[in-house]
Structure 1
Amino acid sequence: MTLRGRLTAAFLAVVLGPVLLGAFFVGATMAAVDDSRATERLGLAAAGVRTSVDALCQQLRAAADAVALVTDPAARHRAADQVVGRGLAAAVLTIDSAGTTNYATPGGPARPWQECSSDPPATGPVRALAAEVQLRDPAGADLGTVTAAQSVDPAFVARLAAVTGVAVTLLDDPAGTDPVTLTTETREVRAAVLAAARTVDGDRVTETVDGRYVRRVGPSPGQPLPLVLSVPAERPPGLHVALVGAVVLAALLAVLAAWRLARVTTRPLMELAGAVDRVAHGDLTARVPVRSRDEIGRLAGAFNRMTRETGSYVAALTSSRDQLRGHLAVLGDTLASTHDLQRILRVILHSAIAATGARAGAVLLLDGDGVLVGQCVEGLDGRRPGDDGSDPATLRVPAGTGVVGTVAATGEPLCGRWEPADPPTGEPTCETYIAVPFAAPGAAELAGRGDPDRPGHPPADDDATPAASGALGVLALYDRLGAEEFADDDLVTLRTFAAHAAVAVENVRVHEETQRLSLTDPLTGLWNYRYLRESIRREVERANRFGRMLSVLALDLDRFKDVNDTWGHAAGDAVLVEFARRVRGEIREVDLAFRQGGEEFVVLLPETDARGATIVAERLGAVVRDQPVPVDGHGGEPVRVAVTVSIGIAVYPDHAAGGQQVLDAADDALYAAKAAGRDGYRLAQPPDPPPTREIPVVVATVSPPDGLPRAGTPDTSGGGQGGASSGPHPPRQSRGR
């Protein structure tokens, strides 16, 4: 629906609403008044009917008593005729005690007669009302009954209608299902009155379809006739037609006025809509004519100012967009090309500062103790007492304290003006700040803490922790250039860079974890054979460089196949895990333990000679031998499995000249320990010395012109012998263990 249509509808609702309500109120009020008056008239008529019928019954009862008082039968018959002749009853009937009719006045009404004091029959017409009295002799003996009756005919019904002032209808059937025989209603309204009478019960008043009010009276004690009273409604004829006509006329006038008002109102709005559409298609030169000083005129003026300022904003935004694209391109290249976390965080921080115009900023990550530690900072020189800002790690804020600590604990961003804390939290001082948390992808949803509709307002949760919020760290900026405080746009921008920081941290952690998993044994957690080859090469190079020794222990669990065959592979895995744990407990931090495969293990002992290696081997043998390993046996019952280990020891460079050779030497020593009965260690044998031969040296050699001695050349100075010796290397220094 257009605006003009809505305005027209609103005006019609405002105008026609009261008109319709007024018409409804008038009609409802008059209907209520008519209902009340009709109910009152029918109530009075019902009382009149009961009084008239009761009076008739009393009259009949008095006539019957007069006849019953006569003792002589012949005189009793004459008295009955006199009662009928005087009009006190339409008929008198005497019946003896045996039920035989002794006398009945001639010309009486047809049967059945309705006794005044008894209930009417369920069906059938009522032809007369009767009153019955007992006939007794002077001694009080029962001689029978005397009944006086009065006809119930149209004349009777007419008399009731005259007494009550309403139309009276006598139902042949008390249930109201038989055709009406006695009524003062016209033929046209008889059926409607009868239909309404069938639906009403008790003293309730109902209305017929042609506007008459109907009420049933009786049968009841003292009034046994089933009567229906009805009166016509007193509402003026044509009332509803007049009300409908008034409403229609008011509606026509309201439509004309609403159409005119809507047209005048919507014309400037249509001009404004056209200008807005042009702006939406990129035409920022569109203007709206200002035709008045009312609200619409002010709206047109504001639109014209908005389009002028929007042109300036678009130019500035285009420049900012290009600059932001450049920063994002650099950030994307950095994220894609390196796993250097410090470099990535520096690029993110620099880009965030450039995009928001901040003077300074910092990226902090949570350590294992729940403390935020600075990873990279920019522009924080002189913002903390005693700190020149050169070392980011000096920026340390416990989670839950200060601005950045609260952000990390709650997972909600904060921005505003700085208020110094007491005691100081170690954060940089500033005038304004904005801080956004960043978490691993999916952590915010799992924690259930985020509330994007309330930025800058942390939830009221006294138990908030970094683990609950899922935060990895915080990206904070300080003192925006050219503005007093950071805006909502800055918050959106900073969220973007925080998301990049989260991805970078997570990628680096995943990369490190992947490297660790590729170099460790999944069952025991020790280094695997791949890392063994790399480590032995590195440790041999280090031993060469610093003139140290390197001891290698090759370990093999004795009769491990029997453990698997007896207790199952699950028990064997438990033994391997426990053995690896005991090995780690007996070596230094600088020592390296590896699982070479199956039940074979290797331990590298840097800067350790043969004596120190044998001490370690003895301790490892004892700790394995003296403490059986508890495992789940058959049926789930725990059992303790006794395990021993055989160990071969080789020392570089005493037993080999390279990394693989020293491993082979330790392996040979291991086989020797196995052959010697297991549960012990053996030291590798030194290699055989290489054969030597004498090299002749020319006598009376002299030095060459360049002064450098050479083998086999004369040395004029005669100051010594040149040449290379193939003898054994001088002994290296060793450190006992």
Structure 2
Amino acid sequence: MTLRARLTAAFLAIVLGPVLLGAVFVGMTVTTVNRARAAERLDQAAGAVRGAVDALCGELRAGAVAAAVVADQGRAVAQDVPVQLRDAEDHPVGTGGSAPPSPWAVCGQSAGTGAYAAVAARVERRDRAGVLVGYAYAVRPVDAALLDRLAAGTGGATVTAARAGGGYQRQLDGPLPLTVSVPGPAQAGLVPILLVVVLLAGVGAVAVAWWLARGTTRPLAELALAADRVAEGDLSARVPVRTRDEVGRLGTTFNRMTRELQSYVAALTASRDQLRGQLGLLGDTLSSTHDVPRILEVILQTARAATGARAGVVLLLDADAGELVGDGIRIPLGAGLLGSVASSGVPRRGRVDRDGPAFAPGEPSCRTYMAVPFSAPDSVRGVLALYDRLGDDEFDDADLVTLRTFASRAAVAVENVRVHEEAQRLSHTDPLTGLYNYRTLKDSLHLEIERATRFGHRLCVLALDLDRFKAVNDAYGHGAGDAVLAEFARRVRSVIREVDLAFRRGGEEFVVVLPETDAVGGIVVADRLNTAIRSAPVSVPPKLPNAREPGGELHAARRIPVTVSIGIAVFPEHGGTGPAVLEVADDALYLAKAAGRDTYRLAELPVAPVPGGASGSPHPALPGSGR
């Protein structure tokens, strides 16, 4: 059963019940009133008839008295009404007028049970001595005229001479037995009227109930349909508001809710699209570059867009200096908000005026904050912090989770860049010495030759080889040999310029490329290298206690003397390509080895001129040998 049907039934029960009871009550009341009024009319009519009978008896008595007087005087009786004289034995002796036949109802006497043809008044006749001599009667026949006369003053009652039973009529006692009756209440017309009234009330109640039920359930049905549309995702659903009652207020509230929900979803959609764009930019950045500052900038922008922060900062940890370093910011570990987050590894959020902390010098100021560390598997790499959320709200736990997500991305990005840089370094450098490897030597020498050719510069190539290095390995072990190689590379780097390039060619062989350097400059660098290498023995860790040096002596620490032989070649004098120049430098190296080692040799100029090179005669300023 629907709500509309229940409301209609309830309304009809509430309205039609009293209507029906009212109709019954009205019918009973009207019937009672009508009966009371009929009884009252009957009383009045009976009283009027009694009065008329008494008046009639008075008239007849007067006629009888007159008849008696006239008879006593001996004259003839002449009356308007029939008169009859009787003797003392009540036998007729004379008549005046046509007297109706007996029996007569005599005024002053009680009526019998039979029917009377006339009503009469009797007067005694006495002589002078007072002796009864007879009677004088004045008679009036009981006919329709008499009955009409008696009923004339009753206001519509009916008077009959016969006795009858039933309601709304009365038998009158007296000389003449009469029945007075009045019309009964008009019950037959009341019932249809009440039925019509009840029917009209029922029709009206049904119409009103339908209207009220419809007015109540229609907005609810519209609200249900609109709620279904909202549940299906149509947030533009609205309901018409026709009234200002509770149902109307419900519709108004629903419309306001859907408007707010639509605005909220639109804002979420815009935020999602913005975040999706930022994440796309972040993904593109992570996949297209290994520029750490650029990656961190995109992560910071994305985190700000996702949380609605006004500002933010990303600081990386300089482990050697023990500081967080950013764009113009240096904060010691443990100092201020960012330093404490980096040192403890615990994220923080809050309000400065409520939660602190005191900021370190140079740290950004704010009202609300949120800071999380980002870490590699082994240690903290930096801190990501956001400040002052848009509006007056502070950051919540959901924002902190979001920021930790971006911080993890930052950690992965930094670690990936570090790994990439390390891989790049290892692919181009020798892991033992830290110098460029042979693969990089070929590429770099080719590029430097091209640059020297383009700008008309010279390029000097030094081929280096450690003297008697195999003996070092045999005598001290390969661990000591590795230590010698690492120290040798350090001393080479300390001698050459930043623009110069040092390479490990393999084993104990090395190459140094000196851009924009001629033979004289190459000799100067070679002499410095010889001096730096021989200047001090190389200290290596001690062997195990049971290890012995040649000769059977135990040594706790060892100092190994090291020297180097160097061959020098210059582009374009000694070759027009990188391999050609390097080959000439190798030849010069062999000459230095043949000359007793721990020295350098400048390659001899070829007899045939090299394109772009000098003549084959020795350079007057170039000595043939060094130490």
Give, in whole Å, the separation in 2 of the partners of 1:505 and 1:405. Answer: 19
> Hey, what does 2:223 align to over in structure 1?
none
Counterparts of residues 315-326 of structure 1 (less than 5 Å)? 320-321=271-272, 323-326=274-277
1:400 is aligned to 334
The reply on whether 1:350 has 2:301 as its aligned counterpart is yes
Gaps of 5+ in 1: 1-278, 286-303, 375-392, 444-469, 693-724
Q: TM-score, normalised by structure 2?
A: 0.50
Residue by residue, what CA displacement relative to the aligned partner does 1:657-693 show, whole Å, maximum 9, x if unpaired? 332222122111111212233232110122334499x
Provide the residue aligned with 2:459 in structure 1.
550
Separation in structure 1 between the aligned mates of residue 607 and residue 394 of structure 2, nearest angstrom = 80
C-alpha distance 666-473 of structure 1, shift in aligned 2 (>3 A): same
Give me the whole-angstrom Cα distance separating, in 2, the residues matched to 1:422 and 1:324.
33
- Aligned pair 1:370/2:304, yes or no? no
- Contact 2:352/2:368, CA 8 A, preserved across alignment: yes
Q: Assess, with a 3 A threshold, how the Cα gap between structure 1 residues 590 and 433 changes in structure 2: closer, same or farther.
A: same
Deviations 1:76-133 (A, max 9, x none): xxxxxxxxxxxxxxxxxxxxxxxxxxxxxxxxxxxxxxxxxxxxxxxxxxxxxxxxxx
Give the structure 2 partner of residue 412 of structure 1. Answer: 346
1:350-375 CA distance string (max 9 Å, x none)? 2111111122222222234233333x
Q: Determine the structure 1 residue equivalent to 2:547.
A: 635
Paired position in structure 2 for 1:616: 525
Task: State percent identity of aligned pairs.
Answer: 62
In structure 2, C-alpha distance between the alignment counterparts of 1:626 and 1:616, rounded to whole Å: 15
Deviations 1:634-670 (A, max 9, x none): 8253354444321101122333333222212211111
Change in Cα spacing, 1:424 to 1:674, as seen in structure 2 (3 Å) is closer
RMSD of aligned Cα (Å): 4.1
Largest Rg, 1 or 2: 2
Amino acid in the other structure paired with 2:526: A
Whether the 8 Å CA contact 2:458–2:570 is kept in 1: the answer is yes
| Residue 431 of structure 1, CA deviation | 2.6
Q: Which residue of 2 aligns with 1:359?
A: 310
Q: Measure, in 2, the Cα distance between the counterparts of 1:514 and 1:691.
A: 39
Paired with 1:726 and 1:323, the residues of 2 have a C-alpha distance of 62
- Asked if 1:335 is matched to 2:269, the reply is no
| Alignment map for 1:232-247 (pairs within 5 Å) | none
Distance 1:400 1:510 in 2: 27
Alpha-carbon spacing, 1:309–1:485, altered in 2? closer, same or farther (3 Å): farther
Going from structure 1 to structure 2, the CA distance change for 1:421 and 1:574 (only over 3 Å counts) comes to: closer
For the residue of structure 2 that corresponds to 1:573, the secondary structure is helix
- Residues 608 and 406 (structure 1 numbering): CA distance in 2 closer, same or farther, change over 3 Å? same
Give the Cα separation in 1 of the matches to 2:324 and 2:528. Answer: 42
List aligned pairs for 1:258-657, cutoff 5 A: 320-321=271-272, 323-367=274-318, 368-374=320-326, 393-418=327-352, 425-440=361-376, 442-443=377-378, 470-630=379-539, 635-636=547-548, 637-638=554-555, 639-657=558-576
Q: Which moved more, 1:348-357 or 1:412-421?
A: 412-421
User: Cα 1:471–1:628, aligned 2, differ >3 Å: closer, same or farther?
Assistant: closer
Per-residue Cα deviation, 1:266-311 (whole angstroms, up to 9, x for no partner): xxxxxxxxxxxxx9xx8999xxxxxxxxxxxxxxxxxx9xx99997
CA 1:321–1:422 in 2, change beyond 3 Å: closer, same or farther? closer
| CA distance, structure 2, for counterparts of residue 559 and residue 614 of structure 1 | 23
C-alpha displacement at 1:726, in angstroms? 11
Deviations along 1:549-602, one digit per CA (max 9) or x if unpaired, are 332211112233333344443343333233223323333333322110111111
User: In the alignment, residue 412 of structure 1 is paired with which amino acid?
Assistant: V
CA contact (8 A) 2:308 2:389 kept: yes
Q: More displaced, 580-589 or 350-359?
A: 580-589
Aligned to 2:602: 683
The 1:550–1:506 alpha-carbon spacing in structure 2 relative to 1, beyond 3 Å, is: same
| Structure-2 separation of matches of 1:691 and 1:407 | 65
Partner Cα separation in structure 1 for residue 605 and residue 615 of structure 2: 13
Is the contact between residue 284 and residue 311 of structure 1 (CA under 8 Å) also seen in structure 2? no
Q: 1:667 aligns with which of 586, 598, 601?
A: 586
Q: Distance in 2 between matches of 1:642 and 1:398?
A: 44
Residue 314 to residue 579, structure 1, CA distance change in 2 (3 Å):
same
Question: Against the structure 1 CA distance between its residues 683 and 478, is the aligned structure 2 distance closer, same or farther, given a 3 Å change threshold?
Answer: same
Q: Distance in 2 between matches of 1:572 and 1:471?
A: 36
Output the amino acid matched with 1:410. S
CA-to-aligned-CA distance 1:433-461 (integer Å, 9 cap, x gap): 22222111x34xxxxxxxxxxxxxxxxxx
Deviates more, 1:309-318 or 1:600-609: 309-318
Contact 1:407 / 1:437 at 8 angstroms: preserved in 2?
yes
Q: What secondary structure does 1:635 align onto?
A: coil
| Residues 171-182 of structure 1 aligned to structure 2 (within 5 Å) | none
Query: Structure 2 vs 1, CA of residues 359 and 647 (structure 1 numbering), >3 Å: closer, same or farther?
Result: same
Tell me the amino acid that sits aligned with residue 569 of structure 2.
A
Q: Which residue of 2 aligns with 1:33?
A: none
Distance 2:306 2:610 in 1: 74
TM-score (norm 1): 0.43
Query: CA 1:397/1:559 → structure 2, altered by over 3 Å: closer, same or farther?
Result: closer
Distance apart, 1:423 and its partner CA: 8.4
Residue 523 of structure 1 and its aligned partner are, at CA, apart by 2.3
How many residue pairs are counted as aligned between the two chains?
A: 360
Give the distance between the partners of 2:520 and 2:437, measured in 1 at CA.
27
Conserved? CA contact 2:530–2:563, under 8 Å: yes
| CA distance in 2 between partners of 1:405 and 1:510 (Å) | 25
User: Could you say what secondary structure the match of 2:315 adopts?
Assistant: strand
In 2: Cα distance, 1:687 partner to 1:635 partner? 51
- Secondary structure in structure 2 of the residue aligned to 1:363: strand
SS across alignment from 1:622: helix
Q: 8 Å contact 1:284–1:308 — kept in the other structure?
A: no
Q: Is the CA contact (8 Å cut-off) linking 1:650 and 1:683 kept in structure 2?
A: yes
C-alpha contact (below 8 Å) 1:528/1:594 kept by paired residues: yes
Q: Kindly indicate whether the alpha-carbon contact (under 8 Å) linking 2:335 and 2:360 is maintained by their aligned counterparts in 1.
A: no
Distance 1:679 1:504 in 2: 48
